Amino acid sequence: MIDFIIVGNGLAGICFAEIAIQNNKSVYVFDDNSQPSSKIAGGLYNPVVLKRFSEVWKAKEQLEIAFPFYKSIEEKLSFTFDYKIPIYRRLASVEEQNNWFQAADKPNLSGFLSSNLITEKLTNIESSFGFGEVLETGYLDIATLIKNYSDYLLSLNLYSSERFEYDKIKIEEGYIEYKNSKAKHIIFAEGFGLHSNPFFNNLPLDGTKGELLIIKALNLQLDLVVKSNIFILPIGNDLYKVGATYDWKDKTNNPTEEGKKELVENLKDLITCDFEIIKHFAGVRPTVKDRRPLVGSHHKYKNVHVLNGLGTRGVMLAPYLSTQLFKNIEGNIPLENEINIQRIYKKMNII
């Protein structure tokens, strides 16, 4: 009998699998590549909500776990996917400059926001009011992480790309049975695919579609991330990832002309050089209306668990939430109320 069957090998599934393996637990992972949101995500991490200059929920605690955790995977598998890179927030007015200075003075933000305004011009970037620099930032090459981690699991015969069939699960006292396998627990980390899951499809997972571009801009010469109402992220060879849109109605993974138009218009407002669109892609982020993740155990089946709702900040959240869920299952350490799906069950009068 294995310890954990994990359904989903995006960022959440990888983090839980690796934490389990690091704690000498056995895992088997299913992923049919039907949910591309992790692979197409921007991958940026920063501890500040740059629209309002406010701290991301539990930012310090998340980063304290995430940085050494990702480093441990890099060392274990001998490849790099975590790149430290500054984020410059373009300031749009004198009022925003003042708001930046006020935020940088706050004790909870002083370690994340530089108090020095950056006034030097960046090549081919419009910036009348300068930039504020966000600290403790970077990006994950999530697609490379998923590919390498999948290959690692596959090499150990711990991975299947077949579609997971919910109706083949049998839940017994103390274990679950799936086809020819038995496991003590099953973790569902399926992103937006949760809507097809009969155990958890009553949870309020919403989903926000995001569209991104890869552009080539020979004259941009940018070696940091610029953030305004979109971000521009250099990925090498004069290529840049540009994103992202937010669509709360369309739940497909299909790129749209509307999304492309919005990104191009915002890009032309930000840069002054020519660019070529190389790729246009889209995915649905697993978001929740109350802006908190969905983590915990099924109200009836105590060995059936969910790890979802990471939204737009999965890079920071995934190691933090996976650690909490693992400790909850193995050590009976309570989950934080803000992330626990018990909060949903209580509102639904299920428990």
Quote the CA–CA distance of 230 and 243 in Å, as a whole number: 5
Same domain, 279 and 299: no
DSSP H or E segment with residue 17: helix 11-22
Residues 293-338 have pLDDT tens digits of 999 999 999 999 999 999 889 999 999 999 999 999 999 999 999 9
**Structural domain range at position 99:** 79-139+207-285
Same domain, 222 and 272: yes
Quote the CA–CA distance of 258 and 270 in Å, as a whole number: 19
User: With pLDDT > 90 as the criterion, what percentage of the chain qualifies?
Assistant: 90
pLDDT at 130: 96
Cβ 112 vs Cβ 48: under 8 Å = yes
Domain C-terminal end among 258, 285, 312? 285
For residue 303, tell me if it sits in a domain: yes
pLDDT at 41: 75
Same domain, 169 and 236: no
For residue 50, tell me if it sits in a domain: no
Quote the CA–CA distance of 250 and 261 in Å, as a whole number: 16
Same domain, 241 and 214: yes
Same domain, 117 and 12: no
CATH number, domain at 250? Answer: 3.30.9.10
pLDDT exceeds cutoff 70 at 37? no
pLDDT exceeds cutoff 80 at 97? yes
pLDDT exceeds cutoff 90 at 33? no
Confidence of residue 68 (pLDDT cuts 50, 70, 90): very high
pLDDT exceeds cutoff 70 at 51? yes
For residue 49, tell me if it sits in a domain: no
pLDDT at 312: 85
Domain C-terminal end among 266, 285, 304? 285
pLDDT at 290: 86
pLDDT exceeds cutoff 80 at 38? no
Same domain, 158 and 121: no
| C-alpha atoms less than 13 angstroms from C-alpha of 45 in its C-beta half-sphere | 27
For residue 48, tell me if it sits in a domain: no
DSSP H or E segment with residue 304: strand 304-308
Quote the CA–CA distance of 215 and 180 in Å, as a whole number: 47
Cβ 319 vs Cβ 69: under 8 Å = yes
Quote the CA–CA distance of 192 and 187 in Å, as a whole number: 15
Confidence of residue 291 (pLDDT cuts 50, 70, 90): confident
- Beta bridge mates, 30: 7, 160
For residue 56, tell me if it sits in a domain: no
Same domain, 171 and 293: yes
Of 29, 61, 27, nearest to 47 by C-alpha is 61
Confidence of residue 239 (pLDDT cuts 50, 70, 90): very high
CB atoms within 10 A of CB 25: 17
Ramachandran sector of residue 114 (left: φ over 0; alpha: ψ -120 to 50; beta: rest): beta
Residues 188-217 have pLDDT tens digits of 999 999 999 999 999 999 889 999 999 999
Residues 161-174 have pLDDT tens digits of 999 999 999 999 89
For residue 59, tell me if it sits in a domain: no
Domain C-terminal end among 285, 309, 326? 285
Same domain, 171 and 221: no
Same domain, 176 and 116: no
pLDDT at 27: 98
Tell me how far apart the 2 most distant CA atoms of the chain are, in Å: 65
pLDDT at 48: 96
For residue 53, tell me if it sits in a domain: no
Same domain, 215 and 275: yes
pLDDT at 351: 79
Confidence of residue 124 (pLDDT cuts 50, 70, 90): very high
Same domain, 132 and 215: yes
For residue 62, tell me if it sits in a domain: no
Kindly state the average pLDDT of the residues 110-139.
95
Confidence of residue 270 (pLDDT cuts 50, 70, 90): very high
Domain count, the chain: 2
CATH number, domain at 191? Answer: 3.50.50.60
- The overall average pLDDT reported for the chain is 94
Kindly state the average pLDDT of the residues 213-226.
96
- CB neighbours of 223 closer than 8 A, spacing ≥ 6? 85, 234
Confidence of residue 122 (pLDDT cuts 50, 70, 90): very high
Same domain, 281 and 212: yes
pTM to 2 decimals?
A: 0.95
